[in-house]
Amino acid sequence: MNGSAVFLKTLVDSLNKEQFDENVEVVIAPPSVYLDRVRQSVNKHISVAAQNAYNVSSGAFTGEISPEMLKDLGIEWVILGHSERREIFKESDEFVASKVAHALKVGVKVIACIGEKLSEREAGDTFNVVTRQLKALVGNINDWSNVVIAYEPVWAIGTGKVATPQQAQEVHVFIRGLLKDLVSPEVAESTRIIYGGSVNAGNATDLAKEADVDGFLVGGASLKPEFITIINSRI
Q: What positions carry a catalytic annotation?
A: 152
Type of residue found at 108: V
- Start-to-end Cα distance in the chain: 29
- Could you give the C-alpha distances from 39 to 29, 91, 104, 156, 180, in angstroms and in order? 10, 28, 20, 30, 35
Cα diameter, the chain = 47
Which residues contact residue 214 at a Cβ distance below 8 angstroms, ignoring those fewer than 6 apart? 192, 193, 194
DSSP state of 56: S
User: Comparing C-alpha atoms, which of 123, 131, 126 is closest to residue 154?
Assistant: 126
78 sits in which H/E element: strand 77-80
Type of residue found at 40: Q
